[in-house]
Amino acid sequence: MGYHNNFLEYMKSERNASTHTIMSYKMDIEQFCQLMFPDEKNFDNWSTVDLYTARMLIAKFNEIGLDRASIMRKISALRSFFRYLEREGIVEHNPFSGLSTPKRGKRLPILMSFEEIVRLLEAPSKYQIVASTNRPGHEDDNKFVALRDMTMMEVIYSGGLRIGEAVGLNINDIDMFSDVVKVRGKGAKERLCALGRPALAALRHYVKERAARVVSKSVSSPLFINITGKRLTARTFQRNMKNYLLTAGLPHDLSPHKIRHSFATHMLDAGADLRSIQELLGHSSISTTQIYTHVSAERLKNVYRKAHPHA
């Protein structure tokens, strides 16, 4: 049994790693052997692997066209493997511990223009009107779904919520008088998000229609519900949104999270400071929020290229 098999067994029994993780480690180690020691069928002489070998591996990865994210993941797996070998006394040094990996390129978030947001908000009622003709007798349910989904998108766009945060809202999380919503974000952290006039108007209308469908009158019952009165799931809303994108003539790969991205960028474009946007989004680090400055700058450059005669 080779050392890499011992490592995989260790990951399974002592680190409780998932089957997917173990298979990924196995494939990464096997690929390393195939690329660096193609003439050795069952390579197991790990003490001969040095920093030069590790650097050559990155060059091989680049040759076969792996992207940065894949290279970083594979190097991380090999670093863990050699850390195990070092602890077991199989190797003296971890050749991957001091290896500088290619920096992950920052992918700018995709967002919608304000005009596209408006089209999306109008889509639920248009879609459900058509759906009613195909489902006679379900007009009331379809109208409720259209109102609920439009309201939910208004709340996501108004407060910059994640989809999980939106479906997790309870009726008592909404303060109509203070125009805020209490949101439970990642790590059970709570924050307050603002609600604009359109979102508040939609909520008032929706809450009245919701009252006729809820079984529990508790203030801690879910805000967004399905037609049977139970909490709406993120999966159901995401499936509905695909239909709304088609109705609005928008790209099919947009998602509820793109509404959140749009909120942040539109706020920044309108003059909001980055620290305030960080608090509204619930980011623990300002560096996470700074990606939106790149988005805003990129949009300005696009406008400049199109409009300036010497661009």
Query: DSSP assignment of 89-151, as one string?
Result: TS-SS-TTTTPPPPPPPPPPPP---HHHHHHHHHHHHHHHHHHHHHSTT-HHHHHHHHHHHHH
CB 205 within 8 A of CB 144: no
* 257 flagged as catalytic: yes
* 186 flagged as catalytic: yes
Amino acid type, 38? P
Phi-psi region of 103 (alpha: psi -120 to 50; beta: other; left: phi over 0): beta
* 308 flagged as catalytic: no
The residue annotated as part of the active site, out of 119, 148, 260, 261, is: 260
CA dist 44 and 47 (Å) reads: 9
The residue annotated as part of the active site, out of 15, 87, 186, 235, is: 186
Hey, which residues does 184 pair with through a beta bridge?
190
Helix (H, G, I), strand (E, B) or coil at 288: helix
Amino acid type, 193? C
* 283 flagged as catalytic: yes
* 138 flagged as catalytic: no
C-alpha dihedral over 276, 232, 187, 156, to 10 degrees? -10
The residue annotated as part of the active site, out of 148, 162, 191, 261, is: 162
Phi-psi region of 160 (alpha: psi -120 to 50; beta: other; left: phi over 0): left
Nearest to 106 by CA among 295, 303, 269, 257: 295
- Across the beta sheet with 180-184, the strand order is 174-175, 180-184, 190-194
CA dist 135 and 128 (Å) reads: 10
**Residues belonging to the active site:** 162, 186, 257, 260, 283, 292
